Amino acid sequence: MSLLHFRCKERRRTQRVSLSVPLVINGQNETGEKFSIRVKSNAVSQHGAQLEMEYPAVVGQVLVLLNENNARKVEGRVASIQRKRDGKTYVGVEFLSPEINFWNMTFPLPGAKPLRRSIPKISQNKVTA
């Protein structure tokens, strides 16, 4: 019998949230040339983000992210690069300063269970005429 599917333990410090935020990315490429590009986040967490980027990046590269919604800046390090089958490249960025609220939002604590809304029961009273 073969193993069809497995789940690995979640290693994230905070949950990831799908959120599209306009960002300006500033940095230097491998030859030392400065660049500034506009991107949107694909997913965010308290400690970083996943960005869809066409500009080449290198793991370990330091970038400065500017949040266009609240004008906050933060330095981040490229932690991962994933090239998908659809041709898009997703870059995982980890913030160098964990104490900043770059996204201006509160994230659930690690291991927290999702909130569930209780649906009130509707009694089924039959109407007879």
Is residue 60 a part of any domain in this protein?
A: yes
53-102 pLDDT, tens digit per residue, is 988 899 999 999 999 999 999 999 999 999 988 888 999 999 998 778 89
8 within a domain of the structure (yes/no)? no
Give pLDDT, residue 1: 41
Report pLDDT for 107. 78
Between the ranges 27-31, 49-53, 82-86, 121-125, where is the mean pLDDT highest?
Answer: 49-53
| Residue 80 belongs to some domain of the structure | yes
pLDDT in the model for residue 85: 87
pLDDT (average), residues 24-28:
95
The answer to whether residue 45 sits within a structural domain is yes
Please answer whether residues 82 and 90 qualify as being in contact, where contact means their C-beta atoms are separated by less than 8 angstroms: yes
What CATH number is associated with residue 44? 2.40.10.220
- Measured in degrees and rounded to the nearest 5, phi and psi for residue 43 equal -150, 150
Q: Is 109 a domain residue?
A: no
How many distinct structural domains can be found in the chain?
1
The boundaries of the domain holding residue 69 are 17-95
Average pLDDT score over residue span 8-37: 82
The verdict on residue 58 lying in a domain is yes
Kindly state whether residue 23 falls inside one of the protein's structural domains.
yes
Residue 99 in tokens: 């104490």
In a domain, 127, yes or no: no
